[in-house]
């Protein structure tokens, strides 16, 4: 089997629940996996949980749960969180699994047989927070360099001859420019190694938890030595079959705090000692901070991804999938590649409005609405304009270049640049003016707009796959899953009937609480200026205009208040032989229970809208009463359901 593209995240300690910091690394890998898959690569994405640490044992003790039950529970929470964020990993390894324990013990024995491990006395400090041994000279005011409490240890332990690999490691870094990334962190590793790598204590006295040292069960293997081996344990090492398909890893991703001391020095040295090839690239991003410190459970300043998605849903009224995609989009767009970055809900909502509701939402809405209005609601034949195809082509190249450098944030920019371009293109081409003048070019312009939209669907697919699916659905096309097809005329078959535009990201208005939601469809389709050109409504309308509005009689079957809204009632209505859900802003005037069984008049051909995450498929007519009360309109006598109203 040919070698697979193998990508990994750190395995997370199960003393804490997953937060957006963990989700960041997961997302970077998920985007990479989805992108490479679209390009036809055979990709393998590994993640998991790190369970043998002392801090895990102590967290279990303070939870009062038996330790195995505790680690099972938190490991499951990580998996559930990744599933809800639509993260598709191929393997999830737990360090308490037999396959991992077996590989760690074999690795330890192999190095001991080869003379890379020896017994000695460890006299010094241990930082449980970072699970790291600390030199006396590195203590700052009695604390570890990370600011954690330290414990004194005096034990006989096994040591790994890390010092023996210093020169080879420095030479490897020098000869392989993309081995350690980014450049600034590589430089930190070089100066760290040049100060001299010291042999490392790699066991602890057995506290009743951890992987016992083979033949010396009074000791357990130090959690970092144990955890790093997960990357080969998951390949089936030492069994050459699967190991050969996967190893060496193409990319190990992590954040900066576990780069220099562990992944960029200890791990390569361990692999050299075992005569195994080194990974292609080890790369560390910065931290998401909150206030001025790293977001972490121990500081109690974490944002949990599912909670964040829930908040986005209730603040904006978007669907659950759109809320998840918003989280994904923001994690990718806000990747702190070199430095750190503060992560706030405000910034997420700002991005939501500017990039998703405005740029993407407008492009989708305007393109589909105009295709229906000006070219009959089907994909026009012919070819898109060269200018548009060139822009798409260059954006694809930019996306690819960004991904080569692992810059997910720049890839997001490249994808969004297409919708920004599309919005400008619509402004300058003014298809409404072409249509009014009877200019045939309107077909080419609409085809070009649709091609840009189709390309956007492809480009955003690795980042926000559910949104990409929704765009494909509204285009009436199957998902674009082959990277090579992006921007091609073939990706846009002529004469396909387009769906009707539906807002995916209703605009968030911080001034207007969702509670104040009205039944007006959310206006995110057209800009103000253009809305005037397109929809400069005359004072009076013709009978033909009026006849476009399909008014029908319906009966209310069910009515219930919408949670979190003081105005909205959710109605199930029957309209002829069709059942629909409609939201009505009549809560202040009617008790939901009093509505059931009534006949009402409904605008039956209104575009569906989403309010507070719920679909509304029509509008109930009501007159304005005194003090803004709503008074429902109804036929004077019972009439057949679905009857037309003129």
Given candidates 4, 5, 11, 443, which one binds ligand MSP under the rule CB under 6 A? 11
Which CB atom, from 219 or from 294, has the smaller least distance to ligand MSP? 294
Pairwise CA distance, residues 202 & 266, whole Å: 11
Sole residue written with tokens 């609409």: 446
Least distance CB 94 / ligand MSP (angstroms): 12
Least distance CB 185 / ligand MSP (angstroms): 12
Report if residue 30 touches ligand MSP, rule: CB under 6 A. no
Stretches 17-25, 132-140, 166-174, 475-483: which one binds ligand MSP (CB under 6 A)? 17-25
Q: x/- site string to ligand MSP, residues 280 to 309, per CB under 6 A? A: -------xx-----xxx-------------
Q: Work out the number of other CB atoms within 10 angstroms of the CB of residue 274.
A: 17
Query: Does residue 45 come out as left (phi exceeding 0), alpha (psi in the -120 to 50 range) or beta?
Result: beta
Which CB atom, from 26 or from 193, has the smaller least distance to ligand MSP? 26
Report if residue 471 touches ligand MSP, rule: CB under 6 A. no
Given candidates 10, 279, 317, 487, which one binds ligand MSP under the rule CB under 6 A? 10
Binding to ligand MSP (CB under 6 A): which residues in 322-361?
A: none
The answer to whether the CB of 576 falls within 8 A of the CB of 552 is yes
- Residue nearest to ligand MSP according to CB distances in the complex: 21
Which CB atom, from 258 or from 419, has the smaller least distance to ligand MSP? 258
Q: x/- site string to ligand MSP, residues 174 to 203, per CB under 6 A? A: ------------------------------
Report if residue 255 touches ligand MSP, rule: CB under 6 A. yes
> Which tokens sit at 231?
């990357």
Q: Work out the number of other CB atoms within 10 angstroms of the CB of residue 239.
A: 10
Backbone angles phi, psi at 382, to 5 degrees: 95, -155
Least distance CB 475 / ligand MSP (angstroms): 36
Least distance CB 311 / ligand MSP (angstroms): 19
Least distance CB 257 / ligand MSP (angstroms): 6
Least distance CB 9 / ligand MSP (angstroms): 6
Distances (CA, A) of 570 to 279, 320, 614: 56, 18, 9
Report if residue 492 touches ligand MSP, rule: CB under 6 A. no
Binding to ligand MSP (CB under 6 A): which residues in 225-254?
A: 227-228, 230, 254
Least distance CB 304 / ligand MSP (angstroms): 12
Which CB atom, from 12 or from 391, has the smaller least distance to ligand MSP? 12
> Which tokens sit at 583?
């939201």
Report if residue 210 touches ligand MSP, rule: CB under 6 A. no
Opening angle at CA 141, ends 137 and 147, nearest 5: 90
Sole residue written with tokens 């997001």: 412
- The sign of the dihedral angle between the CA atoms of 479, 485, 488, 493 is negative
Pairwise CA distance, residues 135 & 48, whole Å: 30
Q: x/- site string to ligand MSP, residues 75 to 114, per CB under 6 A? A: ----------------------------------------
Q: Where are the beta strands (DSSP E) in 202-249?
A: 203-205, 212-213, 216-221
> Which tokens sit at 221?
């293997």
Backbone angles phi, psi at 420, to 5 degrees: -65, -45
Please state whether the peptide bond connecting residue 238 to the residue before it is cis, i.e. omega within 30 degrees of 0: yes
Pairwise CA distance, residues 644 & 646, whole Å: 7
> Which tokens sit at 360?
């993407």
Report if residue 51 touches ligand MSP, rule: CB under 6 A. no
Q: Work out the number of other CB atoms within 10 angstroms of the CB of residue 443.
A: 18
Least distance CB 32 / ligand MSP (angstroms): 14
> Which tokens sit at 54?
């002392």
Q: DSSP assignment, residue 182?
A: S
Stretches 168-176, 223-231, 309-317, 504-512: which one binds ligand MSP (CB under 6 A)? 223-231
Stretches 9-17, 474-482, 519-527, 598-606: which one binds ligand MSP (CB under 6 A)? 9-17
Distances (CA, A) of 419 to 256, 416, 452, 463: 33, 5, 7, 15
Which CB atom, from 147 or from 493, has the smaller least distance to ligand MSP? 147
Least distance CB 317 / ligand MSP (angstroms): 29
The answer to whether the CB of 221 falls within 8 A of the CB of 209 is no
The answer to whether the CB of 562 falls within 8 A of the CB of 592 is no
Report if residue 74 touches ligand MSP, rule: CB under 6 A. no
For 13-157, where are the alpha helices, taking DSSP H only? 20-38, 54-63, 67-84, 98-113
Least distance CB 46 / ligand MSP (angstroms): 11
Least distance CB 627 / ligand MSP (angstroms): 51
Given candidates 21, 458, 462, 503, which one binds ligand MSP under the rule CB under 6 A? 21
Which CB atom, from 346 or from 535, has the smaller least distance to ligand MSP? 346
Least distance CB 38 / ligand MSP (angstroms): 24
Report if residue 258 touches ligand MSP, rule: CB under 6 A. yes
Given candidates 4, 22, 219, 454, which one binds ligand MSP under the rule CB under 6 A? 22
Opening angle at CA 24, ends 18 and 27, nearest 5: 105
Report if residue 25 touches ligand MSP, rule: CB under 6 A. yes
592-613 burial code (b ≥16 CB/10 A, e <16): beebeebbbbbbbebbebbbbb
Pairwise CA distance, residues 285 & 272, whole Å: 25
Q: Name the residues that contact ligand MSP, by CB under 6 A.
A: 10-13, 21-22, 24-25, 50, 227-228, 230, 254-255, 258, 287-288, 294-296
């Amino acid at each position: 089997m040919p070698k697979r593209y193998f990508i990994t995240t750190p395995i997370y300690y199960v003393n804490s629940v997953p937060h957006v910091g963990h989700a960041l690394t997961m997302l970077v890998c998920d985007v990479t996996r989805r992108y490479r898959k679209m390009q036809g690569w055979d990709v393998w994405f590994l993640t998991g949980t790190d369970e043998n640490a002392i801090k895990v044992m102590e967290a279990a003790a303070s939870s009062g749960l038996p330790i195995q039950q505790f680690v099972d529970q938190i490991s499951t929470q990580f998996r559930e969180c990744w599933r809800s964020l639509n993260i598709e990993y191929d393997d999830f390894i737990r360090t308490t699994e037999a396959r991992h324990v077996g590989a760690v013990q074999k690795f330890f024995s192999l190095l001991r047989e080869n003379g890379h491990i020896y017994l000695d006395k460890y006299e010094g400090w241990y930082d449980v927070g970072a699970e790291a041994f600390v030199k006396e000279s590195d203590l700052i005011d009695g604390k570890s360099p990370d600011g954690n409490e330290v414990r004194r240890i005096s034990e006989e332990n096994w040591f790994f001859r890390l010092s023996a690999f210093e020169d080879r490691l420095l030479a490897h870094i020098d000869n392989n420019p993309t081995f350690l990334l980014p450049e600034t962190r590589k430089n930190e590793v070089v100066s760290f190694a040049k100060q001299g790598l010291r042999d490392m204590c790699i066991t602890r006295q057995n506290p009743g938890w951890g992987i016992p040292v083979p033949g010396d069960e009074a000791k357990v293997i130090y959690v970092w030595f144990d955890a790093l081996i997960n990357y080969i344990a998951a390949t089936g090492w030492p069994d050459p079959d699967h190991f050969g398909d996967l190893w060496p890893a193409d990319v190990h991703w992590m954040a900066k705090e576990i780069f220099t001391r562990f992944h960029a020095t200890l791990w390569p040295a361990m692999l050299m000692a075992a005569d195994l090839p080194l990974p292609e690239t080890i790369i560390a991003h910065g931290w998401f901070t909150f206030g001025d410190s790293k977001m972490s459970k121990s500081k109690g300043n974490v944002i949990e991804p599912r909670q964040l998605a829930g908040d986005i849903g209730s603040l904006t009224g978007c669907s659950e999938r759109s809320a998840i995609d918003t989280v994904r989009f923001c994690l990718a767009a806000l990747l702190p590649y070199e430095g750190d970055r503060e992560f706030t809900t405000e910034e997420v909502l700002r991005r939501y409005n500017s990039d998703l509701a405005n740029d993407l939402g407008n492009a989708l809405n305007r393109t589909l609405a105009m295709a229906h209005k000006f070219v009959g609601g089907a994909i026009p034949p012919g070819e898109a304009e060269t200018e548009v195809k060139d822009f798409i082509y260059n954006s694809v190249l930019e996306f690819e270049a960004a991904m080569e450098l692992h810059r997910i944030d720049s890839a997001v920019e490249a994808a969004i640049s297409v919708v920004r371009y599309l919005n400008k293109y619509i402004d300058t081409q003014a298809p409404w003016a072409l249509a009014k003048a009877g200019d045939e070019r309107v077909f080419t312009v609409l085809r070009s707009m649709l091609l840009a939209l189709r390309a956007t669907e492809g480009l955003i697919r690795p980042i926000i796959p559910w949104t990409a699916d929704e765009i494909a659905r509204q285009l009436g096309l199957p998902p674009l899953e082959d990277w090579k097809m992006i921007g091609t005329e073939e990706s846009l078959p002529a004469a396909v009937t387009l769906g009707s535009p539906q807002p995916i990201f209703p605009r968030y208005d911080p001034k207007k609480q969702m509670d104040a939601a009205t039944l007006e469809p959310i206006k995110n389709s057209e800009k103000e200026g253009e809305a005037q050109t397109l929809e400069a409504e005359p004072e009076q309308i013709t009978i033909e205009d009026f006849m476009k509005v399909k008014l029908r009689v319906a009966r209310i079957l069910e009515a219930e208040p919408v949670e979190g809204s003081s105005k909205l009632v959710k109605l199930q209505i029957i309209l002829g032989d069709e059942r629909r859900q409609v939201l009505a802003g009549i809560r202040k005037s009617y008790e939901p229970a009093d509505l059931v069984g009534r006949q009402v008049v409904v605008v039956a051909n209104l575009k569906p809208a989403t309010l507070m995450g719920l679909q509304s498929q029509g509008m109930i007519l009501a007159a304005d009463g005194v003090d803004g009360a709503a008074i429902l309109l109804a036929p004077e006598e019972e009439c057949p359901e679905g009857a037309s109203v003129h």
